[in-house]
C-alpha cells in the first residue's frame, strides 16, 4: 500500500505593521506603505523627495448619543435627553 503524502497547510501571513498613506510633497504621488511607527519619514520612489503622512478615514461608524453602541460613558439623566430625539440620521 502506497503512502500518501500529507501536505502542511500554508501558514497565513499575519501583518502586525499598520498601513500608512503618504503623499509626496513635490510630485503629489500617493502610496500606501507598511511601516513601523518608529520609522523615519519615507521618500517618494518616483522623485526621491520627502513624503507627508495623510490622514485616513476610519473603517467604523458610531451612531447615537453615546460614544459606544450601548451609550457607555453617558451619565444618568443624559441618556434620556440624548436618546429622546431619536437617531439624527448622521453617520
Q: What is the DSSP letter of 47?
A: T
Q: Given this model, what pLDDT does residue 36 score? A: 79
Is the pLDDT reported for residue 27 higher than 80? yes
Q: Given this model, what pLDDT does residue 91 score? A: 47
Q: How far is CA 32 from CA 11, 17, 21, 37, in A?
A: 24, 12, 4, 14
Q: What is the pLDDT of residues 4-23, one digit of tens each?
A: 665 655 555 565 667 889 99
**pTM tops 0.75:** no
Q: What is the pLDDT of residues 34-86, one digit of tens each?
A: 887 788 889 999 999 999 999 877 666 666 666 655 666 666 655 555 444 44
- How far apart CA 51 and CA 41 sit, in angstroms, is 7
Amino acid at each position: 500500500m502506497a503512502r500518501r503524502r500529507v501536505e502542511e497547510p500554508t501558514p497565513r501571513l499575519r501583518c502586525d505593521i499598520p498601513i500608512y498613506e503618504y503623499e509626496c510633497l513635490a510630485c503629489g504621488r500617493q502610496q500606501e506603505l507598511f511601516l513601523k511607527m518608529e520609522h523615519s519619514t519615507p521618500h517618494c520612489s518616483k522623485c526621491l523627495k520627502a513624503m507627508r503622512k495623510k490622514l485616513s478615514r476610519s473603517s467604523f461608524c458610531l451612531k447615537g448619543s453615546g460614544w459606544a453602541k450601548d451609550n457607555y460613558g453617558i451619565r444618568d439623566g443624559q441618556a434620556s435627553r440624548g436618546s429622546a430625539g431619536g437617531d439624527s440620521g448622521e453617520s
